[in-house]
């Protein structure tokens, strides 16, 4: 089982580390890709994360899930065509995607939210409605292979849904 985390500077530290360690706890192999090739990404609270590989070297078919933490990272990622293409490929292939807070911004740029039910940080809910997503004011929303969460307070339920969707962990 393999997970891919996609981040850039300004990622929300807790939204990265909670699912990162939860998946590793379950034996999932986790790969971190950053927008800046071979440069560490710095979170909103000062934590730095070293990437495992640059985005252009990734093969989406090798992964079981794409995780997109929020913060300012998704806004930066959506400006990188290789990140948008990667997210689009995951969505088109029907691979599991898990996004927290502002994470759906990247999926919006990838054209992957039309008709999808989701939740997100309230600050971008109108942006999600503009791309024809069905915003729901709920903690966590699962719509097929898409799992979304509002923010940090929802991380325990988000991680539970993520682990369940992958068919791993204690049930």
User: 3-class SS at 60?
Assistant: helix
Residue-level pLDDT at 170: 62
pLDDT (mean) for 57-68: 96
CA separation for the pair 160, 158 (Å, rounded): 5
- What is the residue-averaged pLDDT of the chain? 95
Spell 74-101 as b/e; 16+ CB within 10 A means b.
Answer: bbbbbebebbbebbbbbbeeebbbbbbb
DSSP secondary structure code for residue 133 in this structure: -
Largest CA distance in the chain: 39
Residue-level pLDDT at 132: 86
Active site residue 171: no
Annotated catalytic residue, options 38, 45, 102, 171? 102
| Gyration radius of the chain over CA positions | 14
pLDDT cut 70: percent of the chain above it? 98
Q: How confident is the model at residue 63 (pLDDT cuts 50, 70, 90)?
A: very high
pLDDT cut 90: percent of the chain above it? 90
Residue-level pLDDT at 169: 74
Residue-level pLDDT at 45: 96
Ordered domains of the chain (ranges, CATH):
2-165 (3.40.50.880)
């Amino acid at each position: 089982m393999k997970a891919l985390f996609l981040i850039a500077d300004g990622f929300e530290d807790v939204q990265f580390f909670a699912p990162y360690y939860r998946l590793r706890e379950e034996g999932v192999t986790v790969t971190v890709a950053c927008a800046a090739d071979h440069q560490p990404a710095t979170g909103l609270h000062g934590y730095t994360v070293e990437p495992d590989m640059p985005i252009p070297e990734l093969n989406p078919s090798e992964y079981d899930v794409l995780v997109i933490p929020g913060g300012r990272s998704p806004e930066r990622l959506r400006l990188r065509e290789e990140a948008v293409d990667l997210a689009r490929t995951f969505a088109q292939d029907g691979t599991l995607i898990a996004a927290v807070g502002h994470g759906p911004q990247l999926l919006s740029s990838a054209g992957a939210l039309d008709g999808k039910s989701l939740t997100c940080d309230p600050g971008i809910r109108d942006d999600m409605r503009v791309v024809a997503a069905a915003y729901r004011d709920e903690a966590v929303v699962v719509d097929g292979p898409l799992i979304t969460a509002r923010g940090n307070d929802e991380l325990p339920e988000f991680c539970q849904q993520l682990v369940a969707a992958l068919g791993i962990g204690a049930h």
